[in-house]
Amino acid sequence: MSVDDLYQLRERAKAAMSRGDLNDAVNSLVAAAQQTHVAEHDYVTVLRPLVDVLIQRRDPRSALTVFWYLATNEPNGFTRAQAMLPNVPPVDRARTLAAAGDNAGAAREMENAGLVAAAAIYREKAGDFAGARALWSRLSNVTTNGADAYNGALIHFNLSRCAKKCKDVRQTREAMVAAVRLLEEAADHFESIGQRERAFDCFQVLVQIGRESGQFEDVLEGFVNCIRILREDHLKYFALQYFEDALAAAKEKGELSAAATIAREAADYARALGMAAAGAHYTVVQAELWRDVARQHIARGAPAEIAENAILAAILAFGEMGQFTRVGKLYEELGAMDLEPTRKAHYVRAATRYQGVRDEPLDAAPLPSHLRQDNSFPEVWHVDLIEWEQRGSAAEACADVLTDKRWPDVVRRKAMLARLTAFAVENHPEDSSAATVAARARLAAQLAQLQLYNVLSPLEALFARPEKQVKIAVLEALKTLFFKRSFVTVRAALKEQDPAVLQQAARAVEMLYFLHAFDPLARIVREAPQAPIRAAALSALARVDTLEAAEFMLGILEHGAPQDRVAALESLKRTKGMKFVDLARSEMGGVAAPVQQALREVLRARGIAA
């Protein structure tokens, strides 16, 4: 559709309005608004008359939705939108007031809508921590089993934060303790069902709880588990950044022994990735920290033997990097300490051996800036509770995007259109007519176009519908949403009885190949009873170019069921990644003859000499 078509639709709408056919006018203008790629000055010429027609058609929520898009790009737009508020429900009034800067008013409206968490968050933004504390207290009796333990933990964490602002020491401590307990329970639950990304959220919140409470044990537990999950998901640069964050947190709290241990593990990990300079950097950091640990013990009057052990650890690390001048100076320090005479004499002799010895050249550098990625921690203690309270509403999820100026115009346009569709289906949950079912399927496609994590909850709610057409549309949408959480719905689809749904689920599995999809894909191979489903997962795994995926595929060739071996072999022939090629070459001589033949077939198909 061209801009000329857009103008034609606009003129058609004008003609329809002149003859009083409001439905045709709305349909023409919404069709024109589907051109989300056009310039802003062309786009708004469609939206302004659309607002007018929707008002005439007595559809105030849809009119306000379109006006929200216009308001975000106009000075004081949301202030002017307040004239439309008497005819919309409290939740829409709240969003409009918040966008206009009236967080206290937004809180009152959210409370009127029964959305207590949202109301509490707006009260926090307004600086009314006593009011927010009262609202979090109302929610603190939420069910706390399994996944609900996570929401309960976030509620208690928010309660603790607000109680701290209100200087209630007892409630701060009690709520914080409850939050830690519930987070650990939730993390165990999520990991047991294969949702490690949700467990990761738990551990990130645990880090924040430790920072708020001053309990370094919680900070350390959170970071250690975040790093573990990132390493298992092969998000190596994120993992190194989390090592650095953990190091900084430990040093800030004066926990130098823990910092030195973290630096040692970071060095080992960086070297395993082939990042020699980063490995050397963390090794030197480790050595310097052990030296500082020794001085810390001496300053505290601890026994000399404790400081001695720390200095020896520093010597080992500096020696590993060939920094012999610093090794010699540390031996001199040991020789001057109040230790057993024979050990002191040994250290003095050792120091003399390093006199005049030159340091080896040191190529050490932290993670390069071009490899760093944004690992800023979102306020999940707010964001996830809003999602929980919205209960999968596409209209509300789209409203979050539409009223957020941080998103590009094209994304907010698509969110606006999806919200208009959502009204048609969410206002009539019991309607199973062909038109409404088709609208639900269309909504799934529109949500997918946003390409945002925010749409997963509404898609999960749509998949829970009984209509086959809607389930298939959701699975089609998930094929383009490369998040580990997408597998939650896909795995649920694999338990469906309808052959068409199963077939679409297999297609989704095959398309969801990305770096950290290994774990859910491997689970499907291990658990799916249907050979075609396992074949789809193997096809995706063959395109996940990591050593872990390559080793898994080799294991299938060696020990898998006959159908799985065939599927794995054909998938490996079609892929382009080099991790399996390298593994095949290194393992060629150590596997059975049939596996050797399969490996040669893969290499020949890829045009590589065996």
The percent of residues above 70 in pLDDT, for the chain, comes to: 97
The predicted-structure confidence for 528-556, as pLDDT tens digits, reads as follows 999 999 999 999 999 999 888 999 999 99
Query: Which residues, at least 6 apart from 258, have a Cβ–Cβ distance to it below 8 Å?
Result: 216, 220, 250
**Is the distance from CB of 297 to CB of 310 less than 8 angstroms?**
yes
pLDDT computed for residue 206 by the predictor:
94
Topology given in CATH for the domain delimited by 3-120: 1.25.40
pLDDT computed for residue 560 by the predictor:
93
pLDDT tier at 365 (50, 70, 90 boundaries)?
confident
One-letter amino acid identity for 526?
A: R
The predicted-structure confidence for 482-530, as pLDDT tens digits, reads as follows 999 999 999 999 999 999 999 999 999 999 999 889 989 999 999 999 9
Closest to 246 measured CA to CA, from 230, 226, 231, 229: 226
pLDDT computed for residue 78 by the predictor:
85
Q: Cα–Cα distance between 451 and 481 in angstroms, integer?
A: 6
**Is the distance from CB of 456 to CB of 491 less than 8 angstroms?**
no
> Residue 454: is its pLDDT beyond 80?
yes
- Of residues 222 and 237, the one with the higher pLDDT is 222
Domain map (residue ranges) of the chain: 3-120
Model confidence, pTM: 0.85
Mean pLDDT of the chain: 92
Q: Cα–Cα distance between 271 and 284 in angstroms, integer?
A: 13
Q: 7 — alpha (psi -120 to 50), left (phi > 0) or beta?
A: alpha
Q: Cα–Cα distance between 251 and 245 in angstroms, integer?
A: 10
> Residue 1: is its pLDDT beyond 60?
no
Average pLDDT estimate for 148-172: 95
Average pLDDT estimate for 386-412: 95
Q: Cα–Cα distance between 510 and 532 in angstroms, integer?
A: 10
Q: Is 444 exposed, middle or buried, given 0-12, 13-18 or 19+ CB atoms closer than 10 A?
A: buried
Instruction: Classify 374 as helix, strand or coil.
Output: coil
> Residue 75: is its pLDDT beyond 60?
yes
pLDDT computed for residue 90 by the predictor:
97
> Residue 3: is its pLDDT beyond 80?
no
Dump the DSSP string for 270-294: HHHTT-HHHHHHHHHHHHHHHHHHH
pLDDT tier at 235 (50, 70, 90 boundaries)?
confident
Instruction: Classify 601 as helix, strand or coil.
Output: helix
**Is the distance from CB of 110 to CB of 91 less than 8 angstroms?**
yes
Dump the DSSP string for 108-121: HHHHHTT-HHHHHH
